Structures are given as C-alpha cells and as structure tokens.
Amino acid sequence: MMNLKFSNFSPLFISLIFLPSLVSPQPCKKSCGSQHIRYPFGTGPGCGDPRFQKYVTCNGDRLTFATHSGCYTIQNIDYTNQVFYIQDPSMSTCLSTQSSKGFGLDWDAPFTFIEDNVFALLDCSTSASPLFNSQLRTDGNNSLMPLCDNEGTPICSFLYSCPAISTLNLPISTCCVYTPVDLGPAYDMDLQKLHCSSYTGVYSFNGQESNPENWKYGVALKYKFNVKNEFPGYCSNCESSNGVCGYNLNNYNSFVCNCVGGVNTTTDCYFGASWSKSKKILPWPIGTWLIFSVAWYLN
C-alpha cells in the first residue's frame, strides 16, 4: 500500500487542493431564457460589467431593463451594433391605444437613444401642455427651435390612419412628434408634466413610411463598453475560452472570468501544461485534475 505523506507534495500541488475556494456558488450563464447573453450584460451579480448590472437583469427566463420610469422586457440585442430593443407595454401602437406615464432614462445610465428613434405624443392638451404654450425654446446657441416637429413630417397623419387611434376621434393637432434630442440631458419624457395621455415610439419605419401597421414600435438604446468604446481584450480571451466575463463582487474594478463548473480565474478558462517542450491547452477543470493526478502519482 502506498504511504502518502503531506510533506511529499510541493506548494504548487498543495495549492491545487484548495481550488474549490475559487468556485462560484452561482456561476454566470450564457443565456436568459431564449436571449443569448454576452458582455457587457450578465445574468446576475458578478456577471458582465458592473455598470450595467442594475439596469439589465435576468428575471427567471426574461431579460429586463429597468429605469426610474418602469421595467421593460428586452426583445432583442444587436451585439454587432451595440443596440438593444425594448417594448413598453403601456405604449400605443397602430394596433392599440392606451394611457401611459411616459418613458425616461436615468441620467447616469450608460445608454443613449439611437438617432432613428422617433416619439409621437398623443392626445396632448393644446391649452395646458408646454409643447403648445411655448412653441419656441432657446438652446445653447441662443437660437429658437420648435418643441414639436410636426411641420414637414406626415408621421401624425399616418398614425391617425390606424383604426385604433382613429376611433378615439382625437384632433390631429394634439399629436406632437418628439425626437430624443428634445428630451433634454435627462432623456425623460414625463407625459403627466407634458399633459399628454399616451405616446408611441418608432425605431424603424421598416422601409414603409406610409404604412404604420408595419413600423417597428418600441425603443432602441445604444450602449458603450467604455470611453473609447473598445471591447476589452481580456474579456475577448475569456469568451474565446468558453468563459463568461464578470467582476469581483468585493471589487467592481477587478475582472473575473467565470468558467464551466463555476471556477473563477483572472485570465481565461484555459490551463497550460508542458510535456516534451510542447504546450497543451486544457480547460480549467480537466487541466487541474490531470496535473494533480500526475503529482500524486510521482510522489
């Protein structure tokens, strides 16, 4: 019978015994329901980029986006163009109309509206709404600009051709076309303050500007990785090794690569081992087990 002594093990292999301490009890996932999840988003605390954690979360099998104005389902994420699309259940469309409180982004959120986003405010009071009481406003260059962009655009008339809106018998003059730049630095559209009962958001006319039934309704938001908007190289290495990018819950500035089995590393999910002057790359769990087994055999 082989007599094993603890002293026979080198410090390197002794440290391998404690690798379970690197295992996360709640490993990050690569999907939330049917949604594929990649950096900077995550499925829970410690996953993705900490700046996005409080805004985009996985609730069961549903990926949601939260702001001070409400919680919304994320319908799709375009990782190539760094845009995701949400749907506000209180938003009116060509198929239905309903009252709403509006939509807004938190002032410090790492998101902006895409330039193609257009908002149409419906049933606005022509006597009480500041949209009509103050037809002109002063911008930073001391020039005057209209609050509503109704002139020269047929968006309101197209919307009022929808049966769901036309049955309300609302005068078309109470419709106000609003673009993201008009929302101000807070990106907040407070319909109660604007004295409007509803709104609709369109992020694409789908090549059919005169057919509102085929427009793409919702809100499209663009995100940035960092100031230079560069995808982090360390995260790319982590994802290419079948890992999920995350961060240390005790230090948000500390990068963590979450690997299969819940093992966390500070680099990637590959473990290097040398045999006969050649380097073999093995996944973390397999590489660790194999090297520990060889060490036990040699000792």
Beta carbons of 88 and 144 less than 8 angstroms apart:
no
Show the tokens assigned to 79.
């990782």
Is the peptide bond prior to 27 cis by the omega test (within 30 degrees of 0)? no
Beta carbons of 185 and 105 less than 8 angstroms apart:
no
The DSSP letter of residue 15 is H
Show the tokens assigned to 9.
């093990």
d(CA 199, CA 92): 6
Q: Give 237-272 pLDDT, tens digit per residue.
A: 999 999 999 998 888 788 999 998 778 899 999 854
Q: Give 144-165 pLDDT, tens digit per residue.
A: 344 676 655 688 889 989 988 8
Q: What is the pTM of this model?
A: 0.75
Give Cα 191 distance to the centre of its chain.
24
Could you tell me which of 47, 25, 54 has the C-alpha nearest to residue 243? 47
Q: Give 213-228 pLDDT, tens digit per residue.
A: 999 999 999 999 988 8
Length of the chain counted residue by residue: 299
Q: Is pLDDT of 140 > 60?
A: no
Q: What is the reported pLDDT for 201? A: 92
- The stretch 29-39 carries a mean pLDDT of 93
Give 59's contacts (C-beta < 8 A, 6+ positions apart).
Answer: none
The DSSP letter of residue 182 is G
Q: With H, G, I as helix, E, B as strand and everything else as coil, classify residue 37.
A: coil
Q: Give 98-124 pLDDT, tens digit per residue.
A: 889 989 888 888 898 888 888 999 998
**Domain residue extents for the chain:** 6-27+246-298, 91-99+109-215
Could you tell me which of 118, 92, 251 has the C-alpha nearest to residue 182? 118
The edge-to-edge listing of strands for the beta sheet with 219-223 is 56-59, 62-67, 70-78, 83-87, 219-223, 111-113
Q: Give 45-64 pLDDT, tens digit per residue.
A: 999 999 999 899 998 889 99
Where b means 16+ CB within 10 Å and e means fewer, 142-154 reads: eeeeebbbbeeee
